[in-house]
Structure 1
Amino acid sequence: MKFKFSAAVAAVALTAGLAGSASAAELRLSHQWSTSDVRHQVAQIVADEVAAANVDLEIKIFASGSLFKAREQYRPLSRGQLDMTVLPLSYAGGERPEYNLTLMPGLVKNHDHAARLNYSPFMDEIQKIMAEDDVMVLVHGYLAGGFVGVDRCITKPEDVAGLQTRAAGKAFEEMLAAAGASIASMASSEIYNAMQTGVLQAVNTSSSSFVSYRIYEQVKCYTPAGDVALWFMYQPLLMNKSTYESLNDAQRAALDAAAKKAEAYYLEEAKKEDAASVEVFEKAGVEIARMTQEEFNAWRDLAKASSYKSFVESVEDGQKLLDMALAVE
C-alpha cells in the first residue's frame, strides 16, 4: 500500500511523544549499487551516524535496486513513496531537463572543482527546481569516470564511430552520437549483461561503477579519468523534503551532522576511486589507455557543438544555467 512517508514519520513521532515511547521512526533509502560501492558506503555512514545519535530514527537501506529500479527512484521520492535515495541526478533529466547539466561533457575540471560547484549559485538554482518536486539534497557528491571498449581503446571521438555505446545521460549520448556512435540507453547496473550478450561495444560511466559491476571482465581496454577527465556526474543523496521537515529538531540535527560527515568522506573517496579502478583493471589484464589534452579538447569541442547547443536550445533559461556553471572557477 502506497502512502506518504512524511505522514508516517509524523504519526510515529506524535505517538511516541504522547505515549513516552522509544519507538523509532523508519526511513527507507533506495539505491542501485552493490554494498561495496562508495555510494552505498555514503548512505551507510548517514544511517550509522543517525542510529548512533539515538534520536528514535532508523534508516533502512535497500541496495542493488531491490526496492525501486535504478531509473525509477526520483518520482517515488518526489511523491513521498520513498524517503531517501542516492541517485545520478541526470537520470531524472527526462522530467527536469535542467538536471542534464549535472552530466555535461568537459564541464567539471576535477574533483575540487566539482566540490566548488556543489556550493555555487548554479547548484542553488538546481536545488530550487528540486524543491518544486518536494526533493532536497542531503549529501552532495560528484564522481569522475571514463571509457571502456570491448575490442578497442577509446580516447578520441573517432574511436566510437560505428560502436553501440552506452552513456549515462542525454548530454553524453548527444556528444557520442555526434561522433558516430549508436546509442543504447540503460542504467549502469545493466551494463555487464549488455556487454556479455554483445549488445554493447563501448561504455562511458563512473570509475566506481566500472569496478563495482566488474566491467573489467568484459573489456579489452580502459580509459580512466586522469589528469583530464571528460566525465563527471553529480550523484547526491536526496531526501523527500516533506519527510525531512516532519522530523523533530533532534532528528534533523542528527541527519545534518551525519550528512556533513558522509559528504567529506564522499569527496575524499571520489578522488581515490579513479586510481583504484586502474589497479583493478590492470590486475585483470585490461589495457590502460590515457586521454591526452588534445583528445580531451576534441571531445569538448564536439560537445559544445552538440550537447551544449542542444541544452541551450531546448531548456528554458538553459543559457543562463550553463553560464552559471561555467562561471565557477
Structure 2
Amino acid sequence: MRKVPSRPFDRCSCHVQAAIECTLPAQAQRSVGGRMQSVKSVSPRTMALVLALLLAMGTPAMARELRLSHQFGETDARHRAARVLAAELRKHRPDLTLSLHPNSSLGVQPEQQLDALIEGKVDLAILPMGYAAAKYPELAIASMPAIPASAENAALLRGSEFEDLLQAFCDERGFRILAWWWFDGGTASRKRRVSSPGSIKGLAARSGGGEAFHTVLAAAGARIARMSADKMNESMQGDALEVYQGSYEALVNYKLYEVAQYATIGGYSAYVTLVPILISKKTWDDLGPEAQAELSRAADASTIFMEQTQREAEEMTASRFSASKAQVEPLGFEDYAAWAELAKNTAWQDYRKVSPKAAELMNAMLRSFINARRSDGTPGEPPPK
C-alpha cells in the first residue's frame, strides 16, 4: 500500500498536540491510543500558554497564483517586462505568484482577452488598447495619432488628471490599468523619406496603430493599403505597400529593413501607443490593500524596465536600417507639429464625437501635459490644443 506523505498541517498538528500534553498536569495526561481522554483539569494559565504556542507556530501561508495572458513571444519586450513584474512580486510577496502565458497559450485570443478579464477567467493581460477600444471606443484615447509626442513625453502623464480619469473609466467596466507601458514608433518607406504630412502624399501606406492613424494618413494624401501583417514585407517589395508606420519592434520584426530605403526613427513621433497590463477588477478587489500595494510596486519596476527597452529599441532599429543602407533620420519638431495639427482637425475631432466622456478624456490629456510642463519646467512645446 502506497504511503501517503503527511501534509504540513498534519505535522504541525502533531507537534502542537505534543506540546499541549507536556503542559498538562499528570492526571490529565491519560490517553488511549495516543489521544487525550480529558482536559477538564487544565488551568486557565495553562490554556493561555497553549494558545500562545499555537499562535507562535502558526500555519503555512496559502500561496495564490495569478495568471497573466498575452499574445507576444517570449523574446518580445512586453514578455520580458512581465518577467520583471513576476520577479519583483516574488521577491516581496512570496505568497503571491504570477505565472506568464505568452503566445496566447491559455487559449484566449487577443480580441477575447478583455472579456476574459471582466468575467474573471484571466487575472491579468497585456493588451493593445486597440482591442479594448473595439468594445469601449473611448479607450482609443490610448492610441491617438501625434499625442503623446514620444514615449518619454508620455511619462509626464503619471499621476495626472488624465490617468485618474481613464483609470476610473476602466474600473467602472470591470478592469483596471496596472502598468502603463507606452511604445514609440516610426516609419519605413521605399520610395522617399516620410517626414512632414506632405511627404506621404500619393504613397500606399499602412499603420499598425489602427483606424485613427489611417484617418490622418489619408488626410495627408496617402492611399491606405490593406493587408495582413505577414504580407507587409512582400507587399513593400512591389508597389502594394510603400510606407509602414508602426512600433520600433514591428519595423524590425517584419524585417522591413530588407526592403525599405528610408526610415524615420527617433526625435518626436506621430506614432505612440499604450499597451498596458490590465488586471481584472474582481482579482484586484480580492487581493486586499497590502497585496495591491506590492503588486503596484512590482508594476512600477516593470515600467522602468520597459522605458529602458524602448530607448534600446530605438537605437537597435536605427542601427538595423542603417546597416541595410537605408537613410535614417529623426522626426523634427516642425514636422511633428504639422502631423499634430492635422490629427487635431481629423482623428482627434472624430474621437471627441464618440461620447461626452471621450471629449472629457481628450481635454484631460491635453491639460495634463500642459500642467506637467508648467510644474516641472520641462522644455519644448506642448501638443496643439
Fold shared by both chains (TM-score > 0.5):
yes
User: Whole-Å Cα distance in 2 between the matches of residues 318 and 176 of structure 1?
Assistant: 22
Using the TM superposition, give the Cα deviation of residue 212 of structure 1 relative to its aligned residue in structure 2, in angstroms: 4.3
From 288, 306, 310, the counterpart of 2:328: 288
User: Whole-Å Cα distance in 2 between the matches of residues 85 and 153 of structure 1?
Assistant: 36
Residue 165 (1) aligns with residue 206 (2): yes
The corresponding residue for 2:75 is: 36
Using the TM superposition, give the Cα deviation of residue 279 of structure 1 relative to its aligned residue in structure 2, in angstroms: 1.4
> Which residues in structure 2 correspond to 1:202-241 (within 5 Å)?
202-226=243-267, 228-241=268-281
The gaps in structure 2 that reach 5 residues or longer are 1-57, 371-385
Residue 181 (1) aligns with residue 181 (2): no
- CA change 1:99–1:273 in 2 (3 A) is same
Using the TM superposition, give the Cα deviation of residue 23 of structure 1 relative to its aligned residue in structure 2, in angstroms: 5.6
The corresponding residue for 1:7 is: none
Q: Is the 8 A contact 1:168 1:185 kept in 2?
A: no
The TM-score, its normalising length taken from structure 1, stands at 0.82
User: Whole-Å Cα distance in 1 between the matches of residues 311 and 332 of structure 2?
Assistant: 20
Using the TM superposition, give the Cα deviation of residue 150 of structure 1 relative to its aligned residue in structure 2, in angstroms: 4.0
Using the TM superposition, give the Cα deviation of residue 218 of structure 1 relative to its aligned residue in structure 2, in angstroms: 4.4
158-167 or 92-101, which deviates more? 158-167
Q: Is the 8 A contact 1:91 1:169 kept in 2?
A: no
User: Whole-Å Cα distance in 1 between the matches of residues 258 and 59 of structure 2?
Assistant: 55
The corresponding residue for 1:316 is: 356
The corresponding residue for 2:86 is: 47
| Amino acid in structure 2 at the alignment position of 1:219 | A
> Which residues in structure 2 correspond to 1:86-101 (within 5 Å)?
86-101=126-141
Q: Is the 8 A contact 1:141 1:263 kept in 2?
A: yes
The corresponding residue for 2:115 is: 75
Q: Is the 8 A contact 1:55 1:250 kept in 2?
A: no
The TM-score, its normalising length taken from structure 2, stands at 0.71
Q: Is the 8 A contact 1:149 1:221 kept in 2?
A: yes
From 229, 251, 261, the counterpart of 1:191: 229
The corresponding residue for 2:373 is: none
Q: Is the 8 A contact 1:157 1:179 kept in 2?
A: yes
- CA change 1:203–1:72 in 2 (3 A) is farther
Structure with greater Cα Rg = 2
In the TM superposition, structure 1's runs of 4+ consecutive aligned residues that sit over 6 Å from their partners are none
| Amino acid in structure 2 at the alignment position of 1:163 | A
User: Whole-Å Cα distance in 1 between the matches of residues 110 and 202 of structure 2?
Assistant: 28
The count of residues paired between Structure 1 and Structure 2 equals 307
From 135, 151, 161, the counterpart of 1:121: 161
Q: Is the 8 A contact 1:192 1:214 kept in 2?
A: no
Residue 252 (1) aligns with residue 292 (2): yes
User: Whole-Å Cα distance in 2 between the matches of residues 212 and 23 of structure 1?
Assistant: 42
User: Whole-Å Cα distance in 1 between the matches of residues 226 and 64 of structure 2?
Assistant: 37
Q: Deviations over 1:227-249 (max 9, x none)?
A: x2222111211111111222355
278-287 or 171-180, which deviates more? 278-287
Using the TM superposition, give the Cα deviation of residue 114 of structure 1 relative to its aligned residue in structure 2, in angstroms: 0.7
Using the TM superposition, give the Cα deviation of residue 222 of structure 1 relative to its aligned residue in structure 2, in angstroms: 1.6
From 157, 175, 188, the counterpart of 1:135: 175
109-118 or 79-88, which deviates more? 109-118
- CA change 1:126–1:302 in 2 (3 A) is same
Using the TM superposition, give the Cα deviation of residue 34 of structure 1 relative to its aligned residue in structure 2, in angstroms: 2.6
The corresponding residue for 1:326 is: 366
Using the TM superposition, give the Cα deviation of residue 39 of structure 1 relative to its aligned residue in structure 2, in angstroms: 1.5
312-321 or 119-128, which deviates more? 312-321
Q: Is the 8 A contact 2:266 2:329 kept in 1?
A: no
244-253 or 147-156, which deviates more? 244-253
From 90, 99, 102, the counterpart of 1:60: 99
Q: Is the 8 A contact 1:160 1:202 kept in 2?
A: no
| Amino acid in structure 2 at the alignment position of 1:167 | G
SS of 1:143's partner is: strand
SS of 1:269's partner is: helix
The gaps in structure 1 that reach 5 residues or longer are 1-18
